[in-house]
Amino acid sequence: MDIATETETEQIVFVTEDGVPTGETGPKLASHHEHTRLHLAFSCYVLRRADNALLITQRALHKKVWPGVWTNSVCGHPAPGESLEDAVHRRAAYELGLPSLTDLRCVLPKYRYRTPPFHGIVENEFCPVFAARTDVEPDPNPAEVGDWRWVPWADYQELLNDETANVSYWAKDQFSQLKSIEPFSGL
């Protein structure tokens, strides 16, 4: 399946406030708007095994949702019937060119957020947060990633605290919870 067809046909899973699927799905792109329904997603923070540097990415400028913002390593939506872990691996391979992540684990299983409007889009997600490691350099898909870099955790914190930086709402929101749990608390 080519990228355009995949993007046009990708479905998201609608959930209750507790993250339980309702049995309803919707087209990913058409479902993100000013009245976005609560749906299932994930965020993942990839650390380089050698030095614990965090992979951060800038979303491609042409993306419908939060274009051009800097954020954590990879985010996405599980397909109907797909486990969150399988979705993380699928999106890491597709977006980042990282075919294998190690030590994948859910660090914030009940994270949920709703963004203020951004270019007419509201994100409304039940979004478990994962951490993973890799020894591989990314080879990002330009359809998804505009730029990327490895940063020490302290530099990531500085970026999030910079009022002039173009950083995703969820990255800032997740940080307050992530900074005190493993593997981030020791960085």
The answer to whether 45 and 132 have CB atoms below 8 angstroms apart is yes
Q: Closest by alpha carbon to 147, among 89, 70, 53?
A: 70
Q: Is 106 a catalytic residue?
A: no
Question: Residues marked as binding for Mn(2+)?
Answer: 32, 39, 77, 123, 125
Query: Which of the residues 6, 8, 106, 125 is marked catalytic?
Result: 125
Cross-strand bridge partners of residue 127: none
Spell out the alpha helix ranges (H) of 20-162.
28-31, 84-96, 153-161
The answer to whether 28 and 14 have CB atoms below 8 angstroms apart is no
Question: Residues marked as binding for Mg(2+)?
Answer: 95
Q: Is 125 a catalytic residue?
A: yes
Query: Which of the residues 75, 85, 127, 144 is marked catalytic?
Result: 75
Sheet of strand 112-114: strand arrangement: 21-27, 11-15, 39-40, 124-126, 112-114
Give me the active site residues, please.
75, 125
